DNA sequence: CTATAAAGTTAGATTAGTCTAACAAATTTT
DNA sequence: AAAATTTGTTAGACTAATCTAACTTTATAG
């Protein structure tokens, strides 16, 4: 198993989460390689029994492939948590560093992180950390955009966390665990007005509200 | 710069510390590759201006190559220190893990380690950590085997630290910083009797005593 | 329902790192 | 100094991951 193949597997896994049908061109875009490269890589992943692929048909992950991918994601998210909790990195910095560290083969290192962190269930963006068997236990949260006026909720996760979003939330002093109350919803642009541990009410766009996953509290 | 080339450079650097003349066959042995592989790799290192090599002549590191190597060793030793100080790994475990981590490209990570550790000068085996410019400031210690009877010394470093040696020292409760007094030297086998923070006197073989680097105290 | 566009495939080349087999040069042994 | 050994070199091949160019299949848009 090479770093490269690990990255393909991870990419396929993430595409798999969002849609069912995975095309080679999408994978190529995600991996930033040409079509012939994807094509030959997919063949070689198939030989390892991580994907199922037939000419001109959509790509599928095998159970084995899903597990393999989940174990890489486990390393990634444990690392992110460690970087945030033990090394003082911000949640907007950890992804990039974890992208490199996730490929280390030395299990001891990740096991120790896990232990030091007290076996965390989620990473600094609220995404679930798969267990050592590659099983993911994900809670189902609701986008903030779907909550009614007057309801009190807690931010638990993010749909996807770009650096830009994370820096924006930093500026607004919104973090995982922040509890907020919907004060008003603007029908025209679907923006919402919320109140939390700050003197003033804050306006959040529909775009942002769709990305914040919350639970009632 | 690939991981592979980094490892060659490191190997050459270490050979360079012990002898002046570096042969391709030695390098091959150290890297566990065949002669033709070494041969072609050396040519490609030469193109990058990290070594000087002429057919049938001994291999030499350039200044640039030495610096490059020292920066990798910096990452290695900083990592070892971090693993020991922050993650609770034993000094016999850190080398193996650091061998993988030293190749990460993300400087932030090493800079943060350095900061958290308070800019350490040595790793958990007493080896000096090169600075960010690749400059090594090494103190010159003396092997314990050369110390006279009655003298009090402090263990500061190891000539080379195999896992076996480190586990042996663990059993004898000898660590960096341990202060000991030479009670007796046996002329026949050059073994020495020492006393330190333990009730009984301890016998150390000449072999071990040669590997322990000390300073007077 | 054909024509164009998009997606996928094949063929062939390249680079990095490795190997074995065969040979050549240098060194050591007798 | 000749023979034997070690060390180094060359040639040629292989795998992984990538590419471009040319072609084919499938999907889409009139």
* pLDDT for position A20: 80
Which tens digit of pLDDT belongs to each residue from A32-76? 999 999 999 999 999 999 999 999 999 999 999 999 999 999 999
Q: Which residues, in sequence order, are bridge partners of residue B185?
A: B192
Which tens digit of pLDDT belongs to each residue from B89-99? 999 999 999 99
| Cβ pair A102, A72 in contact under 8 A | yes
Of the partner residues B97, B113, B116, the one whose CB lies closest to the CB of residue A108: B97
Burial of A39 (0-12, 13-18, 19+ CB in 10 A): middle
Q: What token pair was written down for B157? A: 């470093």
Chain A partners within 8 Å of B83 (Cβ): 109
Which tens digit of pLDDT belongs to each residue from A81-126? 999 999 999 999 999 999 999 999 999 999 999 999 999 999 999 9
Tell me the nearest-neighbour CA distance from A71 into chain B, angstroms.
Answer: 18
- On average, the pLDDT of chain B sits at 97
Please give the nucleotide, over all strands, whose C1' is closest to the CA of residue B8.
C17
Q: What token pair was written down for A39? A: 């094509």
Closest CA to A215 of A162, A123, A153: A153
Quick check: B20 pLDDT over 90?
no
| Cβ pair B131, B78 in contact under 8 A | no
Q: Is the CB of A25 within 7 Å of strand C?
A: yes
Quick check: B8 pLDDT over 90?
yes
Q: Is the CB of A54 within 7 Å of strand D?
A: no
Q: At B192, phi and psi to the nearest 5?
A: -130, 150
Q: Which residue is nearest to nucleotide C18 (CA to C1')?
A: B37
SS3 A1: coil
Q: Which residue is nearest to nucleotide D25 (CA to C1')?
A: A56
| Cβ pair B78, B117 in contact under 8 A | yes
Of the partner residues B88, B97, B104, the one whose CB lies closest to the CB of residue A106: B97
Q: Which residues, in sequence order, are bridge partners of residue A22?
A: A59
Q: Which residues, in sequence order, are bridge partners of residue A194?
A: A182, A202
* pLDDT for position A50: 98
Q: Tell me, in Å, how far CA of A37 is from C1' of C12?
A: 14
Which tens digit of pLDDT belongs to each residue from A123-165? 999 999 999 999 999 899 999 999 999 999 999 999 999 999 9
Report yes or no: A90 at the B interface, CB cutoff 8 Å.
Answer: no
Chains A–B, number of C-beta pairs less than 8 Å apart: 42
Q: Is the CB of B188 within 7 Å of strand D?
A: no
Q: Is the CB of B51 within 7 Å of strand D?
A: no
Q: Could you give the count of Cα atoms lying within 13 Å of A81 in the half-sphere of its Cβ?
A: 25
| Cβ pair B95, B101 in contact under 8 A | no
- Write down the residue that tokens 């030395």 correspond to: A106
Burial of A135 (0-12, 13-18, 19+ CB in 10 A): exposed
SS3 A28: helix
pLDDT, greater one: A197 or A33: A33
Residue A141 to residue A156: CA distance in whole angstroms: 7
pTM reported for the whole predicted model: 0.94
Please give the nucleotide, over all strands, whose C1' is closest to the CA of residue A22.
C7
Chain B partners within 8 Å of A88 (Cβ): 112, 116
Residues 39-58 of B with CB under 7 A from strand C: 40-41, 44, 56
Residue A198 to residue A52: CA distance in whole angstroms: 51
Residue A14 to residue A127: CA distance in whole angstroms: 12
DSSP single-letter state for residue A140: -
Quick check: A19 pLDDT over 90?
no
Residue A111 to residue A78: CA distance in whole angstroms: 9
Q: Which nucleotides of C are covered by protein (CB under 7 A)?
A: 6-12, 16-22, 25-26
- The radius of gyration computed from the CA coordinates of chain B, to the nearest angstrom, equals 19
| Cβ pair B126, B158 in contact under 8 A | yes
Confidence of residue A24 (pLDDT cuts 50, 70, 90): very high
What are the Cα distances from residue B47, in Å, to A182, B35, B50, B52? 64, 19, 8, 9
Please give the nucleotide, over all strands, whose C1' is closest to the CA of residue B47.
C16
Of the partner residues A88, A101, A116, the one whose CB lies closest to the CB of residue B87: A116
Residue B217 to residue B209: CA distance in whole angstroms: 17
- CA of residue A84 relative to chain centroid, distance: 15
Which tens digit of pLDDT belongs to each residue from B102-132? 999 999 999 999 999 999 999 999 999 999 9
CB atoms within 10 A of CB B203: 14
Of the partner residues A87, A97, A116, the one whose CB lies closest to the CB of residue B116: A87
- For the CA atoms of B41, B46, B50, B53, the dihedral, rounded to the nearest 10 degrees, stands at 100
Q: Is the CB of B24 within 7 Å of strand D?
A: yes
Q: Tell me, in Å, how far CA of A45 is from C1' of D25?
A: 23
Report yes or no: B93 at the A interface, CB cutoff 8 Å.
Answer: yes
Quick check: B18 pLDDT over 90?
no
- Write down the residue that tokens 């992943």 correspond to: A45
Of the partner residues A83, A88, A105, the one whose CB lies closest to the CB of residue B100: A105
Q: Is the CB of B2 within 7 Å of strand C?
A: yes
Report yes or no: B107 at the A interface, CB cutoff 8 Å.
Answer: no
Q: What token pair was written down for B164? A: 């076996």
Task: Output the DSSP codes for B10-24.
Answer: HHHHHHHHH-S-B-H
Q: What token pair was written down for B163? A: 């896992």
* pLDDT for position B19: 84
CB atoms within 10 A of CB B62: 15
């Amino acid at each position: 198993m090479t770093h490269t193949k690990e990255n393909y597997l991870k990419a396929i896994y993430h595409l798999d989460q969002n849609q069912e049908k995975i095309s080679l061109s999408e994978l190529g875009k995600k991996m930033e390689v040409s079509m012939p490269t994807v094509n030959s890589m997919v063949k070689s992943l198939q030989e390892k029994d991580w994907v199922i692929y037939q000419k001109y048909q959509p790509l599928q992950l095998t159970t084995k492939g899903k597990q393999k991918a989940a174990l890489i994601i486990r390393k990634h998210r444990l690392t992110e948590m460690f970087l945030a909790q033990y090394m003082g990195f911000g949640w907007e910095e950890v992804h990039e560093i974890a992208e490199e560290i996730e490929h280390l083969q030395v299990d001891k290192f990740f096991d120790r992180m896990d232990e030091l962190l007290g076996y965390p269930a989620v990473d600094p963006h609220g995404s679930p950390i798969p267990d050592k068997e590659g099983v993911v236990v994900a809670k189902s949260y609701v986008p903030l955009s779907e909550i009614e006026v007057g309801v009190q909720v807690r931010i638990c996760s993010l749909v996807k966390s770009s650096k830009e979003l994370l820096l924006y939330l930093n500026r607004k002093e919104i973090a995982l665990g922040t509890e907020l109350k919907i004060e008003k919803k603007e029908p025209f642009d679907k923006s919402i007005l919320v109140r939390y541990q700050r003197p003033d009410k804050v306006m959040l766009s529909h775009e942002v509200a769709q990305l914040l996953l919350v639970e009632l509290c």
